[in-house]
Amino acid sequence: MDPITIGILGLVVLIALIAIRIPIAYSMILVGGVGFMIVSGPAFLFSQLKTLGWGVFSNYGLSVVPMFVLMGALAARAGLSQALFRGANAWLGWIRGGTAMAAIAGCAGFGAVCGSSLATASTMGKVALPELKRFNYSGALATGSLAAGGVLGILIPPSVVLIIYAIIVEANIVTMFAAAMIPGVLAVILFILTIAVYVAIKPDAGPKHGGVDFKEWRDATLGMVPVAVIFGLVLGGIYGGIFNPTPAAAVGAALVWVYGTFKGRLGLSAIVESLKETAGTTGMIYLILLGAELMKIFMSRIGLPQATAEWIANSGMAPFVIVAILLLALILLGCLMDSLSMILLVIPFFWPVLVEINGGLYMPAEGSGFGMSTEDLKIWFGILALIVVELGLITPPVGMNVFVISALAKETPMSETFKGVLPFFAAEIVRVTILFSFPVVTLWLPKLIEGW
C-alpha cells in the first residue's frame, strides 16, 4: 500500500477512536505504534521506544508544565478566585450586567495565575454562579458568560497550551507570553462589551444591584492586590530577565502557597490534593506528548506532512486564504477533541505548510509568502491557533466548558447555556478577524520587549 494512503488511513482511525471516546493519548500511541510497525517493522519500533520516552520527557522546557499546573491547583484552593470576583464585582456590579462582567474579569485574573481553561471555568463558576442567581440573572447569560470566560485561561499567560505550542514550533516561551497579552486583554474588552449589548437588548437578563459601600469597596479592592503582586512578580520577573519560565513558575507556586497559608485555606490536606492533581494532570499531558511524538515519527517516515505542505503550497491559493482554511479546520476539530490534544496533533502538520508557503525557514523575499519572518509567523499563527482552539471549549457537541458549567448549574438546561455562549462566540470571531487582518496587534508587544 502507498505510504501516503497508510498515513491517511491512520488519521481516519485516530479520529474514529477519539470520536468513540478512547483517550487521545492511547489513541495516538496505538495508531502511531501500529503505523510505525507497518512502515518500518516491529524491531525498529522497539529500538525507538528504548529512548523515545527519555527524549521527550528530558526536555528542560517541559519542566515548566508541572510548576504552572501546581500554581493553578494551589490557586484554586487558596481563595484567589473569591478575592478576584469580589473585587471585580465591587467595581462593576452596580451597572446593568455588571456582575456578569465581574465574572469575566475574575476569569481573566484567575486565568493569569492558573493557565487552565477548565480549571478557570470550574473555579469561577463555583464562586460567581451563586451571586448571579442571587441578582436574578437569566440562566443563559449567567452560565454563558462563565463558560465563555473560562476560555481566557488558555491564552492569558501563563498558559500550559501556549507553552506546548512554543516547544513544538521551537518558539521562545517568553515571546509567546508577551504576544498573548494584547489579544487576551482584547478578549476581556470584547466579552464585557458583549454583555453590555446583551443586557441592552434584554434588560431583565442582567439586573443591576445597588452597589456596595465604601468600606466594602475598599476591602474588596485590597483583596485583589495579592493576585496582582503574584502575577506581576511572575511575568515581570520573566520579562525583566530575572529568571526563566520554570523558576518563575516555581516562584509563583510558592507565593500562592504563602498567600493560601496566611489566609488559612491551604492546610496539609489541601496541599496533598494539589500535589495529587498536579501529578495526575502532568502525567496526562506527558502521556499525550509521548503519543504525539510517536505519531509525528510515523507521519514523518511516510512523508505525509511534507506531501501535504507541498500540495497546499502548489495549490495556487493565496497564503492568507490558506491560513483561514487551517483556522477553520481547527474550529471544526475543536468539536472532537480537547485543546492540548489538538495542538499536539495538528500543529506538526500545519506548521511545515506555513513555512513552505512563507518561503522557507529564513526571511522571505519582499512580497513573498506572508511578508514576515518565520519567527514572526510562529508568533502570529500561534496566537490565532490558540484562539480558535478556545472556541472548541464552547462549541457543541464537545464544549467542555459548557459541560463544566452545566454540572454546576443543574437548574439551567444545557441548551440555554449553549444559547448563552453564542454572543461570546461571535465576539471571538470578531477578535480573530482583527488579529488576522492586523498582525501588528499581536507582534507589537513582543517586538517592543525585544528592543529593550
- pLDDT tens digit string along 99-121? 999 999 998 988 887 767 777 88
Q: How far apart are CA 45 and CA 38, in angstroms?
A: 10
DSSP-derived 3-state class of residue 144: helix
Q: Do 97 and 36 lie in a common domain? A: no
Q: Do 193 and 298 lie in a common domain? A: no
Q: Do 39 and 167 lie in a common domain? A: no
Q: Do 82 and 29 lie in a common domain? A: no
Q: What angle do CA 68, 71, 74 make, to 5 degrees?
A: 150
194 in any annotated domain:
yes
The three three-digit cell numbers of residue 323, written as one number:
491560513
Q: How far apart are CA 82 and CA 106, in angstroms?
A: 8
Q: Do 38 and 75 lie in a common domain? A: no
Q: Do 137 and 233 lie in a common domain? A: yes
317 in any annotated domain:
no
Q: Do 21 and 161 lie in a common domain? A: no
Q: Do 170 and 255 lie in a common domain? A: yes
103 in any annotated domain:
yes
80-118 exposure pattern, b = at least 16 Cβ within 10 A, e = fewer: bbbbbbbbbbbbbbebbbbbbbbbbbbbbbbbbbbbbbb
Q: Do 151 and 254 lie in a common domain? A: yes
Q: What is the DSSP letter of 95?
A: S
392 in any annotated domain:
no
With cell 465591587, the residue in question is 90
Q: Do 126 and 19 lie in a common domain? A: no
Name the E strands within 149-242.
none
Burial class of 288 by CB neighbour count within 10 A (0 to 12, 13 to 18, 19+): buried
387 in any annotated domain:
no
- Structural domain for 35, as ranges: 1-58+287-302
Q: Do 107 and 78 lie in a common domain? A: yes
With cell 459548557, the residue in question is 402
- pLDDT tens digit string along 237-296? 888 878 888 898 899 999 999 999 998 888 999 999 999 999 998 888 888 888 888 888
Cβ count near 24 (within 10 Å): 24
Please report how many Cα atoms fall inside a 13 Å half-sphere around the Cα of residue 246, on the Cβ side: 8
Does residue 97 come out as left (phi exceeding 0), alpha (psi in the -120 to 50 range) or beta?
A: left
What's the pTM value of the predicted model, to 2 decimals?
0.87
What domain count does the chain have?
2
The ranges of the chain with pLDDT < 70 are 115, 210-211, 313, 336, 360-368, 397-398, 451-452
